[in-house]
Structure 1
């Protein structure tokens, strides 16, 4: 080829992938330099001029992000093009992190050879043209020293244009602007118009119009920046909001630098604007998620603390089994809620999870519609069902093969009514004391959910009725023969 070859650095810890990149890129006719680790890549960079760096994101010891950060810290490599290769799904936050580290593009795996070659070729050509332009600029600067003042002015404008172009390339997706401090003339590039939501054809760039697009609470930032430059400040950076003509509010970060004449007077201010709205939203989502996780963790810990504090048993083993059973019930409903992103849980799934440890065959009959429970209701009802199943398996209908259990539920006027009916088990006698099972069930259903728990200790088997409001309203139960005081312990005496 008739052009001067440039060096392309390939960084990956897997030899097979490096070989694949070499095969894909060899037709470009450039010099391919290989590095099998981040540290080896740094050694190559210190010895060799590199046009483009192709680096794998996931590497041991020093990953792609860390390597990019170290490269950008060196003045020689602040404008070197870096392309990340990632074999995993890259989120918007990861992309933003990569661009902040200096990446100019991402290439997903599997690599499409034509796409990779095209990207590398563009940046190699850009590097070559930039070097040629730098050489031409040096030659031009040597000549203009002996020419007229008019030619010197033209050369200065060309240099300023080159600086703006280089800034846009290095910064990526952003807007750049220029303000003639003396004449008051403004210049915006396409990115600047796009960020502010206006078009060059309909929007005249002047201080009044620009101020009109700033958020009212951030207008003072513009005044403060002008005052700082008048005091001698040469660089300024701030975050601010803009209000687009359609009413949308966007967050931006702006940086500006002043150019001064021989007397130190400001003659021009240039800068860039970056739209950071998505980053701000991501930070808000992270903060919200952290608060939500903290809230749920505290709730779960409070429930576990109550279980440990209130559980009673005559033996250590019985105590451990009781606590483990209740905490496992809490963990099961937590899993169900997590799968739904904490939107709620199906009642039938709660019952199925409690049935899972038992091999009961046709001893249990379930009947009822699909009912979606709110997270707090699901957690509370899951613990109540656990107590009913545990006691039935120990002392009631589920403790013998002849026993039967029917669970029916229905919803009317936002009130869930669940009937638990046992039969065919050991003879039932009304308990004389109240234990943790009854206390927790009553407290959860009645106090926490505003419902009612009612028990009928029939000789042929327990009949329990739970009324749970699906909205936080206190349910009213029809009078009957149920023990509404709920003072009996969920235990039976067989006979």
Structure 2
């Protein structure tokens, strides 16, 4: 490039022009279809991680991400003959560190100087990663909404089977949806501040909050006892079921003591719910009611664990053991 003067006296040089476009992430290259060689400027060499300014085209092809290589080679070949502007994107390298580049130019004779096809590369890695993050977020949102509808539909069906009247059904279902809302709110805040986990102590305190005033309740759950993002609703439903049953028949109905403990040992999480000095006359469950079905479905199927429940003259002991998050 020869020096070019404008009316204000500024001098354009090859060095200043190259430096300017490089700062904008634009790299210059040219390739010869007959010689099967590519000429790369300094930034292009950085993109392709080579110190050579002239490189066999096949060597460049070998560095393209395997998932993109076939399509990229077809687009590259088409850029030689098709007389129109083109743009195609591909990755150099593999894995999280792969660089996204966009090849742009004009095909056919308009893009040639002698035997060489001239064009540019743009580093579009940042844009591509932002697009990928957006797609993941959209997919995650769709997944969460689908899961929530599944839980709601399943919960409605189970509550309906155990309801004795329309008002009871409406009240029970409303309370359970309220618990799901609380759990979802906790999980959303956790996604922002704590890698998506929810401490079970926080969840237990939230669900038992209506009973704390005047109730003899002890919550002793280790910080290591947590619910992963996809299991928060499961733990919420377990704790709510235990609390609801206790409020009807056990310690939370008045005069009893409730202790909730959680420990992580190795790869197992143990959560215990113990009621003592509960009012007399509590009816032992035969394991076939709504609560038992819900607990079994959630603990055994969803969480992949097991539980035991013992009801005696002085209270109840419930203990579940599941894989730790």
TM-score w.r.t. structure 1 length? 0.52
Contact 1:211/1:219 (8 A) holds in 2? no
User: Bigger radius of gyration, 1 or 2?
Assistant: 1
**Structure 1 counterpart of 2:136, from 280, 283, 288:** 288
2:149 and 2:84 mapped to 1: Cα distance?
Answer: 54
Residue 123 of structure 2 aligns with which residue? 275
Contact 2:299 2:322 in 1 (8 A): no
Asked whether the 8 Å contact 2:227–2:235 carries over to 1, the reply is no
Structure-1 separation of matches of 2:185 and 2:40: 53
Aligned to 2:47: 195
RMSD in angstroms over aligned alpha carbons? 4.1
Task: Tell me the equivalent position of 2:106.
Answer: 257
Which residue does the alignment assign to 2:312?
458
Structure 2: runs of 5 or more not aligned: none
Give the corresponding residue for 2:245. Answer: 391
| Cα distance in 2 for residues equivalent to 1:359 and 1:385 | 15
Shift of 1:336: 2.5
Deviations for 1:106-157, whole angstroms, at most 9, x for unmatched residues?
Answer: xxxxxxxxxxxxxxxxxxxxxxx756579x9xxxxxxxxxxxxxxxxxxxxx
Q: Offset of 1:204 from its aligned partner?
A: 2.9
Counterpart secondary structure, 2:269: strand
Alignment of 1:63-462 (within 5 A): 132=8, 165=17, 172-177=24-29, 188-198=40-50, 202-205=51-54, 208=56, 210-214=57-61, 215=64, 217=70, 218-226=72-80, 228=81, 233=83, 235-243=85-93, 249-257=98-106, 267=114, 269-311=117-159, 312-341=162-191, 343-361=196-214, 363-370=216-223, 371-400=225-254, 402-431=255-284, 434-461=288-315
Q: For the structure 1 residues 133 and 316, does the alpha-carbon distance in structure 2 shift closer, same or farther, using more than 3 Å as the test?
A: farther
Query: C-alpha distance in 2, partners of 1:271/1:446?
Result: 60
Report how many residues are paired.
305
**More strand, by proportion:** 2
Question: What pairs up with 1:471-490 in 2 under 5 angstroms?
Answer: none
Contact 2:22 2:43 in 1 (8 A): no
Q: For 1:212 and 1:447, how far apart are their aligned partners in 2? A: 52
User: Secondary structure in 2 aligned to 1:358?
Assistant: helix
Q: Check 1:321–1:192 CA distance in 2 against 1; reply closer, same or farther (3 A cut).
A: same
Q: Deviations over 1:42-77 (max 9, x none)?
A: xxxxxxxxxxxxxxxxxxxxxxxxxxxxxxxxxxxx
Q: Deviations over 1:461-487 (max 9, x none)?
A: 3x1322222159xxxxxxxxxxxxxxx
Q: Paired residue for 1:486? A: none
Give the Cα–Cα distance (whole angstroms) in 2 for the partners of residues 454 and 243 of structure 1.
Answer: 52
Q: Secondary structure of the residue that 2:311 maps to in structure 1?
A: strand
State whether residues 259 and 266 of structure 1, in contact with CA within 8 Å, keep that contact through their aligned partners in structure 2: no
Structure-2 change in CA distance of 1:259 and 1:171 (3 Å): farther
- Point out the more displaced range, 326-335 or 411-420: 411-420
The 8 Å contact of residues 395 and 426 in structure 1, kept in 2 or not, is answered as yes
Residue 354 of structure 1: how far off its partner (Å): 0.8
Separation of aligned partners in 1, 2:133 and 2:180: 27
How far apart are the structure 2 equivalents of 1:354 and 1:170? 58
Q: Is the 8 A contact 2:91 2:98 kept in 1?
A: yes
Tell me: CA distance 1:346–1:237, structure 2 relative to 1, closer, same or farther (3 Å): closer
Give the direction of change, closer, same or farther, for the CA distance of 1:222–1:182 in structure 2 (3 Å limit): closer
